[in-house]
Each structure stands twice: as C-alpha cells, then as structure tokens.
Amino acid sequence: MSRGVAITGMGIISSIGTTVEENFNALIHGKPGITAIENIATVHKNDIKVGEIKRSNEELAHELGLPVDNNFSRTALLGAIAAKQAVKNAGILDINEYATGLISATSVGGMDMTEKFFYDYLETDENHRYISSHDAGDTTHKIAGELGLKGMVTTISTACSSAANAIMLGARLIRAGKLDRVIVGGTDALSKFTINGFKTLMILSDTYNTPFDNNRKGLNLGEAAAFLVLESDEVVKKQNKKVLAYLSGYGNANDAYHQTASSENGDGAFLAMEKAFKISGLQPEDVDYINAHGTATPNNDLSEGRALIRAFGVNVPDFSSTKPFTGHTLAAAAAIEAVYSVLALQNGIVYPNLNFTTPMEEFDIVPQTVLKEKEINHVLSNSFGFGGNCSTLLFSKS
Amino acid sequence: MEALKQELKEKIINILNLEDVQIEDVNDNDALFGDGLGLDSIDALELIVMMDKDYGIKLADPKEGKAIFQSIETMAKYISENRTK
Amino acid sequence: MKRTYINGTGCVSAQKTMNTAFLEEIIINENDNILELTLPDYKDFIAPAAGRRMAKGVKNGIVASARAMKEAGVENLDAIITGTGMGCSVDSEKFLKALLDNKEEFLTPTSFIQSTHNTVGGQIALGLQCKAYNFTYVNGAVSFESSLIDAKMQIDEGEAATVLVGGVEESADATMNLLQLSGAIKSKSEMPFSILGSETNGAVFSEGAMFFVLEDKKTATTYAELIDVSIYNVLEKDELETKLELFLKHNNFSIQDIDAVILGYNGDTEFDGYYNILSQGVFKEATQVYYKHLSGEFNTASAFGLWVASHIVKLQEVPSVLQVNGITSKHYKNILLYNQYRGQDHSFTLISQC
C-alpha cells in the first residue's frame, strides 16, 4: 500500500464534546465525560456511571431541523449530526458529485425507541412510526437522507469493533476503485438494553473505569457518533484537498475462542495487528502511539496487553485508552478513536490514560498516564468485539 | 439437603438447556465446569442470577462463584448455609 | 483481476431446500401471512452441547453454511461474511421482554450475548475454529448484497481465495406482530395471498438462511460465475432503467445478453411497480422469474433469489412455478437479479454460466 487512503474530514459528538474541537480540548485538559445517567430511567442509575451526551432527543432533532413528528432513533440523530459535520469539514458541497458511499456501524440501531414503546405499540398507534426505525439499516438510511447521499449505503455490526470495520471497508472500496469518496464511521446511543446486557455480564464498573490497572472493575458505557470522509487520491488532487491524515493499514481477524471473552493470549488481536502492519508496509517500531481498545474489563485488558507484547516485544510504544474520557461507546468506539488518532497525529499528542494507579501483575507494560507531547507519525488503534471480532487500524501523518 | 441437591440438578439442566443430560447422570461430586458437565463462564453468570432469584443470595464478583459452583455438593452446602429465601 | 465462482450452496427456507436437487417438492401456502420454515435436522450438524444456547437463526446459519462448504469440498476459509437485516431477533426479543417484564431485575446474559448481530458469523467461526476475516452486514434488504460485494472484492484483489458468504434472518413473534401493526406484513384477513395478483399492501413474511462458498477457481461443483453486484440506497422509478444500463455496460453486457431476470416481487402493490418497470419494459420479452411466493419476504430473501438463480444456470431450467410471464429460453447463460424493499435498498446481481 502506498501512503494510504486520504482522510479529508471528521465529525464527532460524544460525552466530552459536540464538535472535533470540543473533544480535543477535553482530551488535552483531562476532562472526562463520565457522569450519572440522566436521559434514561433505569433502576441501575445509582450503580453505574456512563458517558452520556447531555442533550435530549428534542434538542438533537432541533439541531438537525427535523419536524417534531420525525421518527429518528437517538442513534440516528447522533449519527446524522456527526456525519454532517464530517462532510462540512471536508468542504463537500455536492455530496453526489463523485461516486460516494456511506458505510455506517451500529450495534443498538433503534433499540432505544423499541424499548420505550414495545408494549405501547400494542395499545395505541401514536408511536407506530418508530416501528420501522428499529433495524440497524434504518439508522444509516436516515443519515444518508440527511446528507442527501444516493449510492452505496450499507451498515456493519460486529459489536464493539463495528466502526473499525466500516472504516476498513471504506478504505478497501476506494483502493479497489469502486468509490471515489466514502463517509465512514459509527453511531450508538445508550439504551436500557445495552446497560442491562453488560450488567448481566458483570463487567460494568460501579465507579470510573480504570484501563490497564491491576484493580480494574469493568467498563462505563457511553454513547457517541463519529464519521470520517475518505477520498481517493484523484479527488484529493483534483480538488486540491487538505489531507488531515492517511489511513495506512487495517486488519480484521477472529479470535474464535469464546462468544464474549477474548483469548488469554489475544490471538485475534495479534492477528489483526499483524495484518494491518502487512498492508501498510509499516513495522511495529514505526508506531509512536497506540490508542488501545482498553475497556477496563479484567478480560480485555489482559488479553490486549498480552497481544501488544506479542506484536511489539518488550518495547511497547506509548499507549493509552481514551475510554476513561468517553466510556465504551460500542459500535461508535473505533470511529471516535479514529478521530482522536488523527488529532494525535496532527498535534503530536499522546493522551493520558486516566484513572490508572497500579500496574497489572501479569506484565510490565504500563499506559501513558499524563499528556505527552512528541512527534507522532503513525498511530495504531485497536477495537475488539463480541463474537471474537478483532480489528486494527493504522493512521499516518499527511 | 438431598431434596435441595435434586432441585439444583433439575434447575441446572433446565436453565442451562442441557438437553442430552439426565438428572441421574449428574453425581453430587461431579465437577460442573471443565471436564465434568462442561459448563463455562456464561453458565456461571446464569447460575449467579439463579442464586439471587431463587435463594436470595447475591454474589457481587463472578470469581466468588468458582468455589461455590464446583459441584452440586458445594452448591447445596453454600445455599443451605446462606439462603435468605 | 481474479474471477469469482459460486462453488457451493446451502439453503434453509420455507421450502424443502436442504436435501433436494432443486425445488423438487414445492409448498404453495397462500393462507398464512408468515410462512413457516421447513426445519432441517439440526442434530446432523450441531452437537447438543454446542447448540444448547443457539436460537434457530444461528442453527440455520450453521446448517446452511455446513451444507455449502461440504458441497464445495472446502474446509478452510479466508473470510466469513454474513448479512442479516434484523439480526438475532429471537434473543433480542427475549432479552428485551425479560428486561421490561422484570423491571431490569434477574436478567441473565445468554440472550443478550446472542442478540448481537454478528452472532451467526461468530458462531460459525467458533465452530470451525476459523480466525479469518469476519464481517456482518446489517443494512435491510441489501445486507446480503453488501456481503457479496465485500466477498467479491476480496477475491478480485487476491486477498482471499475461498469465502463463505450468506444471508440469515429469523422471524420472532413480537417483531412479526409489530410488522403486522405497521403494515409491512399483510393482514391475515386479506388471504388468500398471491404475489402476482395482489391488490393489497405489505408482504407475506418468512425467514431463512442461505450460504454460498465463493472461490477464485472453477471446480466440478461450480454453479456460475458471480460477475458483479451493485447496491443503491434510493432510486426513483424513472432512474431504474438508466442505472441498470450503466450497471450492465460497466460489465460489458447489454440488455439483450440477459437470458432471464429474477425479480423480487413480494405482492406489495405500493412498491411492486419497480419490478413492473423492468418486466413491462426492457425485459418484456425475456424470461421472468419470481420466488418470494416460495421463500416469503425477509431482509435477506434475495439470497434465496441467488440460490434459485444459481440452480437455473446449473440445471438450465426454470420450473413453471417460478415463471412470471411464461416465456422460457433455450439457454440460460446470463441471469440478472433485481431486488428492492419498500422503495429502498435496491440491488442488481449478475451471474453467468461458465
């Protein structure tokens, strides 16, 4: 692969900010967005903390200029806001000028509305407009509609690695010459469904998540959406586009070990990183910063840490998880972390892994705990999901 | 105690959907996990909920389950000593 | 660029499609608005211990994929790519209902774990101990076609030689009930249902699992070559023919080269007009085929369409039950599939005898 696929625009909404700038400021000033839950009435509200976007659906719909009787799920609202930002940031005026696609990712889709109206649907038809908003694809159609995009539109759902795979597919479509321009990313809203699901797995922390800490207690869930604009070299050249960074490598592999847990030695994670290096032509020693998956569950951090040692040897480069800032935003996680990876390249910043105090007893590697400024040319970002799904993305300086 | 053991065997087969296992196949001291009945970590989480729901025993850390869920014998002993319902 | 061949198929559907050559025994059911699946014998494919947590969609996916792999004679895969519009509905519903009914208490993880969309792909990988690329597409009626595009791109570029690709959908009670409330499924009071003579909106639904082994080489079991697949989120009716011609031209084909067109008619008068444009327009004189009266409608029903198309090419016949206009051809070399659902998620798929 040459230098990779050009990234020319980014958009994001998360619990630490509703724009790229706000997110970056929160990251460099160490301001996390983990709080008590406000928008969802759940019996667990006193036991958990979440990365929640403090805006109501009405406010989000208003920002998009949607009618009051719209049938957007929260996932679609967040996705549309982030995707519009990305398109604007890329300076795109006519979305259908080139062969353009939209590849989104979500795990919950419209579950936030289904769980609200599941029994209500049977009583009255007042909210029936939301029935067709349940499936994941509807979220993406809504985003495409908001962008006015007509073309190849699809959605990937591989649990918590979903957005990494959407970004990967976008890059492959451009490399294969199938599309000139692709908007890629992911979106997931918080829902009772996921809160209770993770609760049953007993991997939710009752306090702030502490990735790679020996006493880590589990994750905080979060909600977010982020999208990137990928463009072919021809389009970049023709339009004299500013390239924010390049997506230089990607890899996907399956752990094939257990439905939810990662293997002890991180086989899938190691294979995904290995593939990404192969495609990019980069070597492990070229990587200056690793944005780890780092969910702070006992299982993930051990498995990922071991995979990092396998891939990088004893000299694992500076690494951190940004999930103490945002919570684990599931299908959106790899997209928001892609935005953070690009910002790390642009600004020469290694983000701090907040809340870390005690090194893990199983190995010697420790995350970067304070903000560090240095020249960064290549960033590796990991994302892993249920079903053994492991993905790695490599970003390089433009 | 014998009745509780019988009850647990029935529940485990039922809750964990062990279609091909009969009650008489499960001995009181057989290992439930690993080589014995072959249960795994997801089953352990199911058993934790069953302990809470049916016997009023709350386990906050899945690791606690390891010793308790060794066999029907250990489960029955723990339940009879700690049950609140 | 390498070519892509369909070398194995497996199909679990409302028809007897598991142990037959091709639709030897057909079930025509015009009295139900949700067609029941013809269940395979799971025990032949899944050990009871392994299957104890699996919902029917996962089991059907495993059975169909095992059949496709067996037919193609492959054991190792370079990629597993699954399409499913609604995902694992049975377990999603189970978890959601338990959550609502028990007010978020006493919930167990099994149905949550199995509710994720990539459960089928993950379980196939786990069963085969396959650590290869594993993607799941979840975009309504193009979930399967997205998988095909990905698979073909991997083979084109030489990234993969053997790819398992499929479409899975499972019908779950509450979801089916809601789709009836929303009008997506026809009301039971409007039976009997027939697709071509339909005067009502909505469709008759069902479920199924269809898997295909795609490879970069022709073998003794090859059905056809997969030439190209293209998807469009929205198309106006007056854009349809132009898009089709562009798609064909891109592959150096013309309308005249197409021996049969397979249309996704589902009896929804509101949207079947899209198919009429082609059947009464450029393909008026061509062999026209429909299949959703046999498979029912579901997000990945078009994978049943590809299963039908593959068999037509291999066996060189169109059973009369599939014919729309009674026109048949001497030779079925090139077949085009067109599908859409409620005016969205349009797809063209082109296969060719080789």
Task: Give a yes or no: residue A243 inside a domain.
Answer: no
Paired tokens of C197: 């003579």
Interface with B, mutate which of A199, A202, A299 (most B CBs under 10 A):
A202
Whether residues C235 and C172 fall in one domain? no
Neighbours of chain C (3+ CB pairs under 8 A): A, B
| Stretch 10-49 of chain B: residues touching chain A, C-beta under 8 Å | 40-42, 45, 48-49
Paired tokens of A8: 């020319």
Task: Give a yes or no: residue A15 inside a domain.
Answer: yes
User: Given the DSSP bridges, would you call strands A245-254 and A389-397 parallel, antiparallel or unpaired?
Assistant: antiparallel
Task: Give the CATH number, domain containing residue C14.
Answer: 3.40.47.10
Q: What are phi and psi of B56, to 5 degrees?
A: 65, 30
Contact between A200 and B49 using a beta-carbon 8 Å cutoff: yes
| Stretch 40-79 of chain B: residues touching chain C, C-beta under 8 Å | 42, 45-46, 49, 52-53
Whether residues C132 and C89 fall in one domain? yes
**Structural domain that includes position A98:** 6-238
Q: Grade residue B61 by pLDDT with cuts at 50, 70 and 90.
A: confident
Task: Kindly tell me the number of DSSP H helices and DSSP E strands found in chain A.
Answer: 13, 15
- Residue A61 to chain B, least CA–CA distance (Å): 39
* Size of chain A, expressed as the number of residues it contains: 398
**In chain A, which residue's Cα lies nearest the Cα of B60?**
A202
A62 is catalytic: no
Q: pLDDT tens digits for C129-168?
A: 999 999 999 999 999 999 999 999 999 999 999 999 999 9
- Residue C316 to chain B, least CA–CA distance (Å): 44
pLDDT at C19: 82
Q: Is the ipTM of this complex over 0.95?
A: yes
Number of domains, chain A: 2
Task: Give a yes or no: residue A151 inside a domain.
Answer: yes
Q: pLDDT tens digits for C203-214?
A: 999 999 999 999
Given A238, A273, A296, the domain boundary residue is A238
Task: Give the CATH number, domain containing residue A331.
Answer: 3.40.47.10
Please state, rounded to an integer, the average pLDDT across all residues of chain C: 96
- Please check the confidence at residue C228 and state whether its pLDDT lies above 80: yes
Contact between C129 and A165 using a beta-carbon 8 Å cutoff: no
Q: pLDDT tens digits for C166-192?
A: 999 999 999 999 999 999 999 999 999
Q: pLDDT tens digits for A276-311?
A: 999 999 999 999 999 999 999 999 999 999 999 999
Number of domains, chain C: 2
pLDDT at B37: 86
Q: What integer is the mean pLDDT of C25-30?
A: 92
Q: What integer is the mean pLDDT of C228-234?
A: 98
Q: For chain B, list the domains and their CATH numbers.
A: 2-82 (1.10.1200.10)
Range in A195-209, C44-58, C272-286 the model is least confident about: C44-58
Q: Grade residue A240 by pLDDT with cuts at 50, 70 and 90.
A: very high
Q: pLDDT tens digits for A143-187?
A: 999 999 999 999 999 999 999 999 999 999 999 999 999 999 999
Whether residues C182 and C264 fall in one domain? no
Alpha carbon distance, N-terminus to C-terminus of chain B:
15
Q: pLDDT tens digits for C90-133?
A: 999 999 999 999 999 999 999 999 999 999 999 999 999 999 99
**In chain B, which residue's Cα lies nearest the Cα of A261?**
B41
pLDDT at B35: 80
- Residue A201 to chain B, least CA–CA distance (Å): 7
- Cα–Cα separations (whole angstroms), residue C10 to A266, C22, C71, C167, C321: 33, 11, 8, 11, 21
Whether residues C189 and C44 fall in one domain? yes
Distance CA A129, CA A71 (A): 6
Instruction: Say which DSSP state A284 is in.
Output: G
**Structural domain that includes position C249:** 227-352
Task: Give a yes or no: residue C56 inside a domain.
Answer: yes
- Please check the confidence at residue A1 and state whether its pLDDT lies above 80: no
Paired tokens of C225: 């070559």
pLDDT at C46: 92
